[in-house]
């Protein structure tokens, strides 16, 4: 009976370790973009260590009914795909890791960071 309980506890601990987030689930660094608020003022938004592998609709611009953000800059350790549409739809561009800021003509509403291989 003790052996079965020990084996079950070990299996549960192993499963817990597998579910813990690791560095492969987040890009390390900063992703920034600009947008114009409803007062006509340019604002800057920074994502710190953004989650990888899932679509992120960006704050204040992540809806197709509002003006898009622009001038994205990927200063993370992971490549990112930026999308003109919400929900990672529409035209897309790839920005490399630790790249230069994109020109302000590049619009963005959503992004997906590559999953770091490791």
Please compute, for residue 13, the number of CA atoms within 13 A of its CA located in the half-sphere on the CB side: 6
What's the rounded Cα separation, in Å, for the pair 8 and 62? 45
- Tell me which H or E stretch contains 55: strand 55-57
Residue whose entry in the numeric block shows the structure tokens 């549960």:
12
* pTM (2 d.p.): 0.78
Q: Using one digit for the tens of pLDDT, what is the confidence trace for 33-67?
A: 999 999 999 999 999 999 999 999 999 999 999 99
- Weakest-pLDDT range from 19-28, 51-60, 77-86, 102-111: 19-28
Integer-rounded Cα radius of gyration of the chain: 19
Domain ranges of the chain: 24-113
**Distances in Å between the alpha carbon of 55 and those of 24, 50, 80, 86, 114?**
16, 11, 10, 9, 10
State which fold the 24-113 domain adopts. Answer: Gamma-B Crystallin; domain 1 (2.60.20)
């Amino acid at each position: 009976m003790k052996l079965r309980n020990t084996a079950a506890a070990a299996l549960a601990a192993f499963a817990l370790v597998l579910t813990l987030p690791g560095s492969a689930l987040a890009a390390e660094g900063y992703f920034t973009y600009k947008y114009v608020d409803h007062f006509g003022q340019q604002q800057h938004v920074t994502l710190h260590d953004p989650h990888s592998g899932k679509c992120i609709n960006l704050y204040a611009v992540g809806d197709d009914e509002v003006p898009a953000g622009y001038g994205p800059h990927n200063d993370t350790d992971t490549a990112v795909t930026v999308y003109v549409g919400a929900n990672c739809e529409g035209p897309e561009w790839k920005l490399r890791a630790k790249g230069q800021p994109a020109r302000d003509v590049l619009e963005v509403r959503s992004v997906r960071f590559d999953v770091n291989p490791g």
